[in-house]
């Protein structure tokens, strides 16, 4: 059914204004990209999981396992300060101008006596240790709304051929623990810029394979909703739940050292669920959790899930850093990934009306594609991007052209929900936070 044209025209005018505001909100402001490697000044070894914080807007990111990081600032001045922190090292504070001129950031170890760490396998009691890890996580995690800027990517393959590819830059928003809504619906991703290639008719067949109850004409965008939903299940219904963790068995698999700090590798399981936890032995901070399970569809096919979650700690507060959800059976494979690029560390508020309007917008986003924006964040192409382009261009339309064809319109063009005005205002407001 077609929507009455005056409403559609009003929506179009509104979105022209909306994206003009997004494009020109930074007019007159300077953009900066700070990147490089954080190392120990004496040993020259890289420092993984160091905090890199833009003080002015309380924005943060962390270094990867090789000590590398990148922090894009949409609005900043050369005199603004950047702070690099790492446990056991003196903080490094410099201006944005100074940081942009560096490729290697050297941290000086603090002069203090470091006590020897001994792990005695006979005396060490794993179950109480894991109970305390889970209790600390739930005490320290933020239950009030918080926000990050991130990149999501999803792709699907049917009988060895890619039939869908979408990715977006936008806001990963935890809307808080609200007693009036389910905990599975309060962690969402809102696209600011999106490239979409989902017109292959085989994608609908693939989706029906993955969702056995699907009978619709349109396939909803995932926008990392499934991945964030899985993360919330991990916290409430799985091994991170303080009420349910007692049912899991734990087995210490091995110990390794990360920058001199011992990390335990712990296997866990309960009935059909099993996984692996990497956790620092001393401060009990989680590094990652990997889990897998399998189930039998109504159609008689066996499907398997593999999920991976990585954590960043700012001080003692844990945040989701990266997540990956892979769902596959004998003839299809679906992958959804979320990578947090910048974490907002101070408070963030969402009203009740904003909550529900943003929920609607998440399921039916307006697709805006700005190629220049992707260059700012230096997003690495998917490892299979060459095959993705080849498979999805077989209709004679190149992938880049398909991105442009899908842009400047709602995901569902004729949906009556194409008017969440509060959500639009909120997304414009979100941009100002970064």
Mean pLDDT over residues 275-303, rounded? 84
- 263-284 pLDDT, tens digit each: 999 999 988 789 999 999 999 9
How would residue 108 be classed by pLDDT, with cut points 50, 70 and 90? Answer: very high
Q: What pLDDT, in 10s, does the model give residues 224-233? A: 777 888 899 9
- Statement: residue 101 has pLDDT above 60: yes
pLDDT at residue number 182: 78
Q: Is the pLDDT of residue 162 over 90?
A: yes
Higher model confidence: residue 215 or residue 34? 34
Strand 30-40 and strand 302-314: pairing?
A: unpaired
As a whole number of angstroms, the distance between CA 199 and CA 220 comes to 13
Residue count (the chain): 434
Q: How far apart, in Å, are the Cα atoms of 109 and each of 103, 190, 260, 264, 281?
A: 19, 40, 13, 24, 21
pLDDT of residue 63: 92
**216-220, 288-292, 306-310: range with lowest mean pLDDT:** 216-220
pLDDT at 401: 92
Task: Please state, as a whole number, how many other Cβ atoms lie within 10 Å of the Cβ of residue 278.
Answer: 18
Quick one: what percent of the chain has pLDDT higher than 70?
A: 82
19 against 289, higher pLDDT: 289
SS3 141: coil
Nearest by Cα to 60 from 285, 258, 313, 284: 313
Please give the torsion angle defined by the CA atoms of residues 13, 14, 16 and 19, in that order, rounded to the nearest 10 degrees: 180
Q: What's the pLDDT band for 4 if we cut at 50, 70, 90? A: very low
Q: What is the DSSP letter of 110?
A: P
- Predicted local distance difference test score (pLDDT) of residue 155: 93
Nearest C-alpha neighbor of 232 from the set 143, 129, 342? 143
pLDDT score recorded for residue 16:
44
pTM: 0.84
CA angle at 310 for the pair 305 and 316, rounded to the nearest 5°: 145
- Per-residue pLDDT at 323 exceeds 50: yes
Query: pLDDT by residue (tens digit) across 335-370?
Result: 999 999 999 998 788 777 777 777 777 877 888 898
Q: Give the pLDDT band of residue 51 (cuts 50, 70, 90).
A: very high
Average pLDDT, the chain: 82
DSSP 72-86: EEEEE-TTSEEEEE-
Task: Label residue 25 by pLDDT band (50, 70, 90).
Answer: very low
Please give the backbone phi and psi of residue 322, each rounded to the nearest 5 degrees, phi first. -160, 145
Structure tokens at 199: 């017109």
Q: What is the pLDDT of residues 58-96, one digit of tens each?
A: 999 999 889 999 999 888 999 999 999 998 899 999 999
Q: Which domains does the chain have, with CATH numbers?
A: 26-107 (2.60.40.1120), 126-433 (no CATH)
Parallel, antiparallel, or unpaired: how do β-strands 104-107 and 146-158 relate? Answer: unpaired
pLDDT score at 17:
47
Q: Token pair for residue 422?
A: 């509060």
Task: Tell me what the mean pLDDT of segment 229-254 comes to.
Answer: 92
């Amino acid at each position: 059914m077609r929507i009455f044209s005056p409403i559609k025209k009003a929506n179009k005018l509104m979105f022209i204004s909306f994206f003009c505001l997004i494009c020109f909100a930074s007019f007159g402001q300077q953009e900066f990209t700070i990147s490089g490697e954080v190392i120990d000044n004496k040993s020259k070894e890289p420092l993984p999981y160091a905090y890199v914080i833009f003080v002015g807007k309380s924005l943060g990111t962390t270094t990867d396992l090789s000590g590398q990081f990148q922090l894009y600032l949409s609005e900043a001045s050369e005199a603004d300060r950047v702070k690099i922190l790492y446990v056991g090292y003196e903080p490094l504070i410099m201006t944005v101008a100074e940081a942009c001129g560096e490729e290697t950031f050297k941290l000086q170890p603090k002069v203090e006596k470091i006590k020897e760490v001994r792990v005695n396998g006979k005396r060490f009691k794993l179950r109480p240790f894991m109970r305390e890890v889970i209790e600390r996580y739930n005490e320290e995690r933020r239950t009030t709304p918080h926000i990050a800027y991130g990149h999501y990517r999803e792709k699907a393959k049917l009988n060895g051929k890619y039939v869908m590819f979408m990715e977006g830059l936008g806001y990963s928003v935890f809307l808080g623990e609200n007693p009036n809504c389910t905990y599975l619906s309060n962690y969402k991703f809102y696209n600011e810029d999106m490239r979409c290639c989902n017109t292959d008719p085989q994608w609908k067949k693939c989706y029906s394979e993955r969702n056995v109850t699907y009978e619709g004409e349109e396939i909803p965008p995932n926008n990392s909703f499934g991945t964030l939903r899985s993360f919330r299940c991990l916290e409430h219904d799985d091994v991170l739940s303080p009420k349910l963790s007692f049912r899991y068995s734990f087995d210490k698999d091995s110990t390794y050292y990360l920058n001199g700090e011992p990390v335990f590798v712990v296997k866990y399981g309960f009935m059909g669920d099993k996984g692996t936890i990497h956790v620092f032995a001393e401060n009990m901070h989680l590094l990652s959790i990997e889990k897998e399970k399998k189930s039998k569809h109504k159609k008689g096919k066996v499907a398997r899930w593999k999920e991976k979650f990585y954590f960043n700690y700012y001080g003692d507060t844990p945040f989701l850093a990266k997540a990956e959800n892979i769902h596959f059976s004998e003839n299809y494979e679906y992958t959804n990934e979320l990578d947090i690029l910048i974490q907002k560390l101070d408070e963030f508020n969402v009203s009740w009306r904003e909550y529900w309007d943003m929920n609607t917008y998440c399921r039916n986003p307006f697709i805006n594609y700005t190629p220049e924006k992707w260059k700012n964040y230096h997003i690495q192409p998917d490892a299979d991007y060459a095959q993705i382009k080849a498979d999805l261009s077989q209709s004679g339309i190149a992938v880049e052209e398909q991105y442009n064809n899908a842009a400047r319109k709602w995901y569902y063009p004729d949906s009556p929900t194409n008017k969440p005005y509060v959500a639009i205002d909120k997304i414009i407001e979100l941009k100002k936070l970064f």
